[in-house]
Chain A
């Protein structure tokens, strides 16, 4: 795959895709296989909710920070992603009233997550944490091997280029999706979403007393039986369907001491969603 070919007015490099249309379904399927290479398989991505944890202030944040510090000290390799919470919602509310386009909203919201990253880092820096630009993950081996705990923001960098949404004006690629996708491309062990409920329910447990908790469930079962209200952005599950690396997504209660530690130890606390090959 190193010859230059000039026989039709264009200069090509010889390769399987030379001259081909990258819209042709047959050509596209020729690039696929049953697996995606795992780049950093030994890491767990831990997402700390914005509204569910950070917006509750010190009483919720400090215990989680302590638990993260202990887990880090015990040698767990983690990448922490933070949500933005109600400041994100406020940003979006003002931006929509102003009539800003979807891409404009997407461009704005990351800054509100940066604030939570900075605050969490202020608590964890003495234990070796650092804030990391989210796409610097080629630095992760350096951090992991020198005992550093990186903290990133969650929202994916779609910015002004956020595609038009299927419904409404809000960006569809939001924080929960950004966390999942980062884990998927790195091929991490699993993703843990730390929220303020015991897991995922079929409807909002804050409003419905009869809401039922999903314990252990497969992705296929969840997609066949979706909840009425989503505590995790649905884009996570629709994307996970075509993803190849992530096999486990766990949703736990960060207000209950020890749940994160148990989840990191592989215990099925909260809601554990699994995907067969």
Chain B
């Protein structure tokens, strides 16, 4: 029988065992100055103009200061509606992930229409390699927050909802680009010791480590669980910043690299 024709002769090891020593791996950052920002679906877009316009004003202001920004949009209530019906139909997680991608796409297009006069452009995954052009031209690229896993999204135990949604997608964009932070704009100041809407004595947590957050084993979380897990393994992203888009100034501060809201960090 014919021998395998190998380019390098490293034996029949697993296909990705490349013989590169992990200690020698010297990673390059692709576009480390980019601010990867998630615009919350339920928390901002579903609130309409009252919530969204001031946030977009601050993003445009940051852009005018020369800060490069990539916006990833969330889904919100329409995604919940389709997840709900698809779950009743017992459709697999991969199909839900595909369905869940359409709503953030609509939201990205809405944001594009609102920001077009300031350079807002809607981009798809295939446009990702053109980010340097968009930044250089002073544009504001807007994309879906959903990662492209689609039908290949793995199912979680005890859940039909795709575990990698728009929080994860924005995180993974930031990690690929070599950014230090991923920024999440929501309708809360970040993390509290308890639900501030129910417990007035709850206090704000300005900084917390991913490890401590995982150790608390909370039944609910402000970000997708996958993101906290990825943060612990990431090469570049060291911090997740959650800011309140309903409070003037927080978004601009975050885009300038200042601490605002809650920062979840990896040691």
Contacts and interface: CB of A to CB of B under 8 A. Distances in A.
Contacts of B151: 135, 137, 181-182, 185
A32 B48 contact: no
A25 B43 CA distance: 19
B176 A160 contact: yes
Interface string B124-149: 01001000000000000000000111
A21 B14 CA distance: 40
A245 B155 CA distance: 11
Given A185-B94, A233-B14, A55 B6 contact: yes
Interface residues of A, number: 94
A36 B95 CA distance: 10
Contacts, number: 257
Nearest to A255: B1
A169 B109 CA distance: 34
B194 interface: no
B102 interface: no
Interface string B96-138: 0000000000000000000000000000010010000000000
B46 A10 contact: yes
Contacts of A244: 92, 155
Interface residues of B, number: 85
Contacts of B16: 88-89, 92, 170-171, 174
B154 A242 contact: yes
B50 interface: yes
Interface stretch (A11-19, A65-73, A114-122): A11-19
B207 interface: no
A92 B13 CA distance: 14
Contacts of A182: 151-152
Contact of B147 (A19, A28, A158): A158
Interface stretch (A74-82, A99-107, A213-221, A261-269): A99-107
A243 interface: yes
Interface in A3-45: 9-13, 15-26, 28-29, 31-33, 35-37, 39
A239 B154 contact: yes
Contacts of A243: 155
Contacts of A231: 14
A182 B150 CA distance: 10
B202 interface: no
Interface string A181-194: 11011010000000
A98 interface: yes
Given A32-B160, A158-B147, A185-B92, A89 B7 contact: yes
B11 A207 contact: yes
B42 A10 contact: yes
B77 A160 contact: no
B199 interface: no
Contacts of B175: 101, 103, 164
Chain B, interface SS category? loop
Contacts of B157: 242
A128 interface: no
A101 B27 contact: yes
Interface string B76-105: 011011011101011111110000000000
Nearest to A231: B14
Interface stretch (B54-62, B219-227, B254-262): B219-227
B27 A87 contact: no
Contact of B172 (A18, A24, A163): A163
A21 to B, nearest CB: 5
Interface string A47-91: 000111001111110000000000000000000000111111110
B145 to A, nearest CB: 11
B65 interface: no
Contact of B158 (A10, A32, A135): A32
Contact of B15 (A89, A173, A184, A255): A89
A18 B220 CA distance: 16
Given A10-B47, A29-B159, A31-B83, A83 B173 contact: no
B100 to A, nearest CB: 10
B1 A9 contact: no
Contacts of B95: 39, 185
Given A101-B235, A242-B154, 13 more contacts: A23-B220, A59-B2, A60-B2, A87-B7, A101-B178, A101-B236, A102-B235, A104-B176, A157-B152, A159-B125, A163-B172, A185-B94, A243-B155
17 contacts: A17-B83, A17-B84, A21-B221, A25-B219, A28-B158, A31-B161, A37-B89, A39-B95, A51-B12, A59-B2, A101-B236, A163-B233, A169-B20, A169-B235, A185-B92, A185-B152, A242-B154
